[in-house]
Amino acid sequence: MSQLVARTALRALLVRVGGNCNIVVMPVSAASVVKSSEEITKQPMRIHGFGDFEIESKHVQGNFNLKWRRMSSAMENKDENKEENPTVETVKKGQNGGDSVAVPSYWGIEKAKMKITRKDGSDWPWNSFKPWETYHADLSIDLKKHHVPKNIADKIAYWTVKLLRIPTDMFFQRRYGCRAMMLETVAAVPGMVGGMLLHLKSIRRFEHSGGWIKALLEEAENERMHLMTMMELVKPVWHERLLVMLVQGVFFNCFFICYVVSPRLAHRIVGYLEEEAIHSYTEFLKDIDDGKIENVAAPAIAIDYWRLPKDAKLKDVVTVIRADEAHHRDVNHFASDIRNQGKELREAPAPIGYH
Ligand SMILES: [Fe+2]
Ligand SMILES: [Fe+2]
């Protein structure tokens, strides 16, 4: 293997020199090339800014092999072909990754997968998100901010949300765990629809989005994480699952049409929905304080996602989710305000990076 890498590296070097006369060739031995690549892969790879986590670079070996291989992709080599014969490996999935699964190893995906540990040395168990996607929620955010309806679109949005609240209140009453879980299935839709439509617009018009695609998709993902957290606390029964399917089918299509017709109205509706979400989570917290809902231990996924202390409770989780909702409220009212001025979203930089 080391001979192969050395030969490949030298060939690539010669090819590059032939194509570019400005390159200065330094005497270098094949052995030193191999040694340096091995040394690099043995070095611990640290990701700065995430002090609680460490990534072991030995698991990145596959990347280096791929790099060398790409440089000599036109060159036939029997040894290399032999290496690419597919073998099957059993990959153990993490806590949220389901059962073990047999996969052909030659794609290099699992080899390239980085091993991530927490500060205490325990394995990072989540496949669905990584440490650099976790964050501290902004608990200083103003929870009482309200957009006073100013024009026809605002009023339509405001009263649409007020009307939607009536059946929700009737159905769930004060069962806030169940209510939160069901509402998060809806809340994760608008960001995805808006992000998707802006994505299509961007590639259709050959123009940047100003970061808004990312901001809206971040919102959708954040809402989905709220749902994944709630799923640890409340298990939906079959008729609730059926209701989710029906509501998703109706809401997705209605919101899609609304966004195509009037992004200003669509964002305003989401802004008011988020105001209602803040109200619901505030009531949730009141019931926890009054002892009507047991303040159980926070799910492990929530502790990692919001960087909560290990002894965090349900109240801490609801508090950070409420702060997220306040952020979504501000993002969507902001977006609606931009459209209200007759401007495109991309004309105002998107608030990305909160999540
Ligand atoms: Fe949410
Ligand atoms: Fe939200």
Q: DSSP letters along 265-280, please?
A: HHHHHHHHHHHHHHHH
Q: What is the total residue count of the chain? A: 355
Measured between alpha carbons, how far is residue 213 from residues 143, 196, 266, 317 in Å?
Answer: 25, 7, 15, 27
Measured between alpha carbons, how far is residue 206 from residues 202, 209, 217 in Å?
Answer: 6, 10, 20
Helical H segments across the chain, by residue range: 2-19, 30-42, 61-71, 78-83, 109-112, 152-172, 176-205, 212-233, 238-261, 263-289, 300-305, 314-340
DSSP class per residue in 280-292: HHHHHHHHHHTTS
**pLDDT class of 53 with cuts at 50, 70, 90:** low
Encoding tokens for residue 302? Answer: 């929530």
Asked whether the predicted pLDDT for residue 199 surpasses 90, the reply is yes
Q: Please report, rounded to a whole number, the percentage of residues in the chain having pLDDT higher than 90.
A: 53
Asked whether the predicted pLDDT for residue 35 surpasses 80, the reply is no
* Buried residues in 27-61 as b, exposed as e (16+ CB within 10 A): eeebeebbeebeeebeeeeeeeebeebbbebebbb
Spatial CA neighbour of 116 closest among 97, 132, 136: 132
CA of 105 to the centre of ligand 1 (A): 38
Asked whether the predicted pLDDT for residue 294 surpasses 60, the reply is yes
Among all bound ligands, the one having the nearest atom to the CA of 185 is 1
Among all bound ligands, the one having the nearest atom to the CA of 191 is 2
**pLDDT class of 15 with cuts at 50, 70, 90:** very low
pLDDT score of 142: 95
Asked whether the predicted pLDDT for residue 341 surpasses 80, the reply is yes
Higher pLDDT: 28 or 333? It is 333
Q: Is the pTM of this model over 0.85?
A: no
**Identity of the amino acid at 13:** L
Report how far residue 311's alpha carbon sits from residue 316's, in angstroms, rounded to the nearest whole number.
10
pLDDT tens across 232-250, in order? 988 888 988 999 999 999 9
Mean pLDDT of 286-290: 95
Topology (CATH level 3) of domain 152-347: Ferritin (1.20.1260)
pLDDT tens across 57-75, in order? 444 333 333 333 333 333 4
Q: What is the largest CA-CA distance in the chain?
A: 79
pLDDT score of 173: 79
Ligand 2 ion: Cβ-proximal residues, 5 Å cutoff: 187, 274, 325, 328
Among all bound ligands, the one having the nearest atom to the CA of 281 is 1
Lowest mean pLDDT across 88-102, 104-118, 158-172, 256-270: 88-102
| Domain spans, the chain | 2-133, 152-347
CA of 324 to the centre of ligand 1 (A): 7
Higher pLDDT: 115 or 136? It is 136
Report how far residue 213's alpha carbon sits from residue 313's, in angstroms, rounded to the nearest whole number.
33
Mean pLDDT of 18-28: 35
Q: What is the mean pLDDT of the chain?
A: 79
CA of 325 to the centre of ligand 2 (A): 4
Lowest mean pLDDT across 128-137, 151-160, 256-265: 128-137
